Structure 1
Amino acid sequence: MRYNIKSILRKHGFDTNLPYTNIYQNLYHALRDSIVFGTLNENEALPPTRLMAKDLGVSRSTVIKAYDKLIGDGFAWSKGGAGVFIAPKKMMALDVVSELKSTKEKRKPHLSKLGLKFSKRINLREERKSIPFRPGLPPLDLFPLVKWQTLSNEYWKKVTSSELTYYGSSGIKSLRKNIANYLKFYRNIECDPHQIVITTGSLHSLYLIFNVLVDKGDQVVTENPTYPNARKILEALQSKIFYAPVDKEGIDLESFRNRQPKLVYTTPSNQYPTGVRMSMDRRIKLNDWVQTKQSIIIEDDYDHEFSNWENPLPAIYSLNNDDRVVYLGTFNKLLHPSLRVGYAIVPNFMLDSVLALHQHSNRFISPYLQKTLNAFMERDYLNDHLRNIMEVTARRREIFVGYFEKHLAAHISLEEKSQGLHLIGKLNRNINDKDLSEYLGQNGIVAHPLGNYYKNPKEGNGLVMGYCSVNEILMTKKLRMMAQLVRSYKS
């Protein structure tokens, strides 16, 4: 390896200003710590002694002595004529490695209580790359890549160097204006574009809104079951959560009517994950109730295009004239999740605080993405795409349900209430949803355990499955595989 590793060694304490007699020991300790803490990888070649000496400004004999001590202590090995290599972890003295790591950990500051709460309440494992049947994914194969690429190329041809600078946290004006117009047609929402804040999606919007509104000990209401990540943010903020049950008309208002929550988080268009659609009567009553309380409704309309296409009901936001509703939407469910563009309509009284938090964290969403999406909307490509995927999702849903009922009904009972991008399959009592989900995932099929959405995982035993992200051929192939896996799991 011919890298100059001076900066790595300095990170681990190397200093040529120490007395001469200590230089080789200092170099040894820096190299050892670089190896133990994983900065230098096992089996990686160390720089040749002459090169290392030149880079560090020390004698070659100093480097040789440090290398020899590394080899003698089991942190490196020499291959005649080829150089010195870092030893595999299994060859190192585990007690020495453990002691070094323990000593270094003791010197680190403690994490904040909030930081610890967030880390304990989120799954940071790398996402599985499998697509079938992950809930929340649109028909990815239908995204108009050529049109998007054309718009992207146009942007980079026209953009000037002066535009490659910082932008406002709220988002570009033209996109916010087009989103306001879009929502007027599809959700009966009239709003001032300046109230719209461009985010990376629903979760980002929730993080901003919850952090601006919720103090430790504040009462909040969420549906039970609900979006797990929303619940985890509220838990990390140490709010007092009341889990409201969901009946056939949506969130059960009577269960918290006499409470004084700071906010109510709800998914009225397509309750997540049950698929219950909040009735018009319940929307009106919830809106009337919030105006008698010092509360606010967080309306997460995460896939409203799908759940309101055939028989639209007005958003709660459109019923409210008292700045008591925050409305959330996203293009990640409609176009594709790697896009990372969503939006929130924020009441004026909290708008500055939301923008300040946005600026101090994410700063702003890529202007390239915003302007390309804006052009996508202005040329009516979004409406064309929306009409196309509505037809395809309906067809794929029919195929999915038909195959499922024929080959999996003996083990999984499919519920068809949801009008969005997912369906729920209830499991027989002798099948555990978390275990089955893990087993399917190991074999390339993603289906989330229903219990994860409840306050008490035992309240739900089933699978939450997307049905439209892949074409019909791959869908039936994966359903056939899923049926075989479920049978083998039971046996």
Structure 2
Amino acid sequence: MNTNNKFTIQRIQKEYVIQTEQKPYNKYIVLYRAIKQCILNIELPHNWLLPSTRILSQELDLSRTTVIKAYELLLLEKLVISKTGSGNRINFEGTINSKKNNLKQLTTNNNLYPDISQRGQSYLKNTVLLNRLPNDNIAFRPGLPPLDTFPVNQWKKLLNTYWRHIKSSGLSYSQSTGQKELKKSISNYLNISRNVKCDPEQIVIVSGSLQSLYLIASTIINSGDAVVLENPLFPNVHSVFKSSEAKLIPIDLDDEGISIKVLNSIKKDKPKLIHTTPSNHYPLGVKMSLKRRQEILQWASENKALIIENDYENEIANSTSSIPTIYSLDTEDRTIYMGTFNRLLHPSIRLGYMIVPKYLTSAVEALQEHSHRFVSPSIQIVMNQFIEKNYLYQHIKNCIEVAKERHDLFISEFEALSKNMYIQKKPFSSFHLIAYFKTPVSVEYEKEVIRKLNEHNITTFSLSKCYIGKPKQQGLIIGYSSVRPTILKRKIKKMIDFI
């Protein structure tokens, strides 16, 4: 007997004993009541496969006719549905409504349980800062690459090869900081593409940028420690450091990046960290100048601080012209370099990396071992092959070509139709654009526009939400690159109706 049948029969058998004490005593009625009660109490969940009539009759020591008649009553009430060749499945999606569970719900009292920790409450309170969506809309969700360009067949072939040749030892626990092969490939990839030279042992493989930030904050930040953040910035970055109970110091940008003048004025706060997006500031797209990068390194050295260089979408931002990374300019090993494949391949891959200063590697590894443990080795090894076989470089080239075409198409279509908003004027450097209102609007108006668009399956993010403190501008952050041209045109026309 399979495990599912074993547990199902145990629950039916237990309820069957209870139901035998109630009239009528006909065995098929008793069995019908027992199964029905299990369904209503969610002891047997929706779409769960019931045992065959033969197996259930044997296990309960009943005739098969008795079981068939009980099932027929359940079928009449539509609590069970039957499909030829698929057996009988539960058809009940109601909420838990047994007296026992209702009693549990009514008597739930937070005073009966231990308090949630201060750090836990902080994370809970700040989830509102995250860009989380209740739907799976693609148009025009920011943070998505051209999903239709991902080479599914190449990836599938590599994955199939992995599973064909896997040894039993490969199914055991894996190193928490990542597979050595992938870390070496990423090290070589960054050396060639970004002139980033590092020891592969400094690389930590993660599920994405958010996990990198969580590991860094948990390793370095104590309650009240100062952290410098660009303003505006990723809401998710804001959420992680605020939840870590850091003292946030938001600093505005000028044409060269985060303001060095303001940065020099806050030395008394003794910041431990500064988070930057120098290749392509999020969301405004400012590319930090070489001079400013050098000034930030000098500032960090003088203040004994660390720099987080979040180099998201650097492949896009530096496709035509490149400025040396802060990491490559750093001579004191005080830069944490972050990258992600989620914004380059597809978000469901859940794969990113960071390079940490050597003095932090043991602490970050220890935290990883106590939490996420490790990223799936199969994904890591396939990604390693994807890089080694040059598929990644080919994919980046395709992404840039397709995204540039859709970038230009979106701007021309939007500006031809929109009377109330305009697109930010800047070179192609990212998978998102910003649409500004031509006349000043309130934050509430911006939220209402986003809500209406979302109701019509169009997703955009709030520009004002990216600011710490009072927003300086309202607008829509629009992800254009994942939408095919024909759909893009249609969605823009629909979008114009609500802006």
- Which 5+ residue runs of structure 1 have no aligned equivalent? 17-30, 57-77, 487-491
Q: Between 120-129 and 339-348, report the one with greater CA deviation.
A: 120-129
Query: Counterpart in 2 of 1:484?
Result: 497
Change (3 A) 1:90 1:294: closer
1:489 corresponding residue in structure 2: none
Q: Deviations over 1:86-134 (max 9, x none)?
A: 99779999xx988753523343322112112112211586642110111
Give the superposition deviation at 1:313. 0.7
State the one-letter code of the partner of 1:459: K
The whole-number CA distance in structure 1 between the counterparts of 2:134 and 2:75 is: 43
Residues 1:7 and 1:226: Cα distance change in structure 2 (over 3 Å): farther
State which of 347, 353, 359 in structure 2 corresponds to 1:349. Answer: 359
Q: Is the 8 A contact 1:4 1:55 kept in 2?
A: no
Task: Specify the alignment match of 1:75 in structure 2.
Answer: none
CA RMSD of aligned residues (A): 3.6
Alignment of 1:454 with 2:467, yes or no, is: yes
Q: Measure the CA separation in 1 of the matches of 2:74 and 2:170.
A: 54
Change over 3 Å in CA distance of 1:88–1:154 after alignment to 2? closer
1:372 pairs with one of 376, 382, 387: 382
Q: Distance in 1 between matches of 2:121 and 2:39?
A: 27
Contact 2:96 2:102 in 1 (8 A): no
Question: How many matched pairs?
Answer: 444
Query: In 2, Cα distance between the equivalents of 1:112 and 1:209?
Result: 20
Amino acid paired to 1:479:
I
d(CA) in 1 for partners of 2:371 and 2:47? 39
TM-score normalised to structure 2 length: 0.80
Equivalent residue, structure 1, for 2:446: 433
Confirm or deny that 1:140 pairs with 2:144.
no
Is residue 281 of structure 1 aligned with residue 291 of structure 2?
yes
The residue that corresponds to 2:304 in the other structure is 294
Q: Distance in 2 between matches of 1:198 and 1:319?
A: 23
2:242 is equivalent to residue 235 of structure 1: yes
Map 1:265-414 → 2, pairs under 5 A:
265-408=275-418, 410-414=419-423
Structure-2 residue corresponding to 1:416? 425
Residue in 2 aligned with 1:204? 211
Measured in 1, the distance between the counterparts of 2:399 and 2:47 equals: 51
The 8 Å contact of residues 42 and 89 in structure 1, kept in 2 or not, is answered as no
CA deviations 1:337-381 (Å, max 9, x no partner) are: 111110000101111111111111111111110111111111111
Q: 2:251 aligns with which of 244, 268, 273?
A: 244
- Could you say which residue in structure 2 is the equivalent of 1:472? 485
Q: Is this contact kept in 1: 2:38–2:44, CA < 8 A?
A: no
Q: Secondary structure at the match of 1:426?
A: strand
Aligned CA distance change for structure 1 residues 261 and 448 (closer, same or farther; 3 Å):
same
* Structure 1 residues 162 and 261: alpha-carbon distance in aligned structure 2, compared to 1, 3 A threshold: same
TM-score by length of 1: 0.81
Deviation per CA, 1:294-328, whole angstroms, max 9, x where unpaired? 21001100110000110101110110011110000
* SS in structure 2 at match of 1:480: helix
Q: Distance in 2 between matches of 1:3 and 1:105?
A: 35
Aligned residues of 1:134 and 1:447 also touching (Cα < 8 A): yes
Counterpart for residue 116 of structure 1: 121
Q: State the percentage of identical aligned residues.
A: 37
SS of the residue 2:498 aligns to: helix
Q: 1:135 to 1:318 in 2, by over 3 A?
A: same
The aligned residue for residue 30 of structure 2 is none
Provide the rounded CA distance (Å) in 2 between the counterparts of 1:388 and 1:160. 35
Alignment match of 1:173 (pick from 180, 186, 198): 180
Q: Report how far residue 459 of structure 1 moved.
A: 2.6
Structure 1 residues 483 and 40 mapped into 2: Cα distance closer, same or farther (>3 Å)?
same
